[in-house]
Amino acid sequence: MDSLGFSRKPDRHSDSLQAMPSTTSISIPTTVRPNGGSGPLFCFADDRLDAEPGLRVAVTSLQFHRPGSRMVVLWKGLHQGFIDWMSQWPSVRCELPPPTRVQGWSSKPHWIRSLFDANETEVIWLDSDLMTIDCPERIFGELSEDTIVLAQEPRCFPNQETVRRTSAWNLKVGRTYPFMFNTCVVRLTRNHRQLLEDWCRLTESPHFVELQRLPFHQRPPHAGSDQDLLAALLCSAQYSWIPIRLVPSGDEIIHSGGALYFPVSERLRSLFGRRPIFVHAMGAKPWTILDRCTAYQGTTWKVQRLGQETSPYAAHARTFAHVIEMPTPWLDYATLGGRVLRWMGFGRDALRGLPQTALAQAARQLKKLVRSGRI
């Protein structure tokens, strides 16, 4: 048992990784790197007041799999209880986010820039709804200072290419990818400072700001969010020299929460491959949707709740329930159907929620056939 109070997992895919009650104070032995010292700075940030459960899981899981990591948490809802909880880790600090002229997702490059302004040389941004489930050194351990790290967007999302994004911003195309990036994981160094400045500049452009007033599904692909701007820049001739280390969907990151986010093909590869490193709680957050006090009603929400109840994120979050030191009614949520589906997962991420995914993919394919007139 380690100092977090866990027993190490006997099976890398199993739900048998159980949180063991700690008989000592929660701490992680570490050689603390001071702020501004050597090594990367991991950053979690959020301007939503209800983000605390995700932030606590994110910090705890990273400390478990990479003890002693230097971290900063930028959170608008900062309060004394959260600060006291964070104080158990000397290598972690929390602050209010610096003010920006943009809001929401578009704040990301501005918050990252503020860390470089404070003399950091390498920043790894992890979304507040991202959980670490294996050692991230597999990704970040051997990288040049020129290399940027980005996650891959779920394959089920539309507009999965980069060329239109680059062209729409009147940038000369330098390279293209048939898929899109997701900025739930971003690694930048001081060598990317000009890229970061241009990324911030695009988030403040009148064209982008105007389009952000539209509902997300009505926005054009080149201006959906901050990640579309970064993709446009990275695939332009000016920045095509920057190596990109992709965190592939299914192999190293599981996008969790939607029936189509973790498709059957990715599940099969994951079943026989190495354990993924991250689980990303996309869309509606499990700590919100699985709270019985919320007012979500109707068949759609019932289906979404079932998906969250049986999701890899919820399964792994239960491991850290006793460590995050706050009420977790969302992890106690259980239905008969959910229990059966969890049992059918046999403790494997690739099998959790597989029946829902298979049905959703079949329904999607049937719709395509109907629309094409083949049925």
The set of residues, in sequence order, having a beta carbon less than 8 Å from that of 57 and lying 6+ positions away, is: 131, 317, 320, 324
Residue range 233-242: mean pLDDT, rounded: 98
* Domains of the chain listed by start with CATH number: 41-247 (3.90.550.10), 283-371 (no CATH)
CB neighbours of residue 5 within 10 Å:
17
Asked if 132 contacts 66 with a C-beta cutoff of 8 angstroms, the reply is yes
pLDDT at 334 > cutoff 50:
yes
Residue range 184-190: mean pLDDT, rounded: 98
Flag whether the pTM goes above 0.85: yes
Q: What is the pLDDT of residues 140-167, one digit of tens each?
A: 998 999 999 999 999 889 888 999 999 9
Distances (CA, A) of 284 to 10, 157, 158: 32, 16, 19
- Rounded distance, CA 333 to CA 292, Å? 8
Task: Give the confidence band of 38 by pLDDT, cuts at 50, 70, 90.
Answer: low
Q: Provide the CA 32 distance to its chain's centre, in angstroms.
A: 25
pLDDT at 21 > cutoff 70:
no
pLDDT at 305 > cutoff 90:
no
Q: How much is the pLDDT for 105?
A: 79
- Rounded distance, CA 181 to CA 226, Å? 11
pLDDT at 5 > cutoff 80:
no
Q: How much is the pLDDT for 13?
A: 35
Residue range 202-229: mean pLDDT, rounded: 94
Residue range 271-281: mean pLDDT, rounded: 93
Q: How much is the pLDDT for 18?
A: 30
Asked if 35 contacts 121 with a C-beta cutoff of 8 angstroms, the reply is no
pLDDT at 239 > cutoff 50:
yes
User: What average pLDDT does the chain have?
Assistant: 87
- Rounded distance, CA 176 to CA 46, Å? 31
Q: Does 299 or 33 have the greater pLDDT score? A: 299
CB neighbours of residue 244 within 10 Å:
15
- Rounded distance, CA 27 to CA 89, Å? 7
Q: Does 8 or 182 have the greater pLDDT score? A: 182
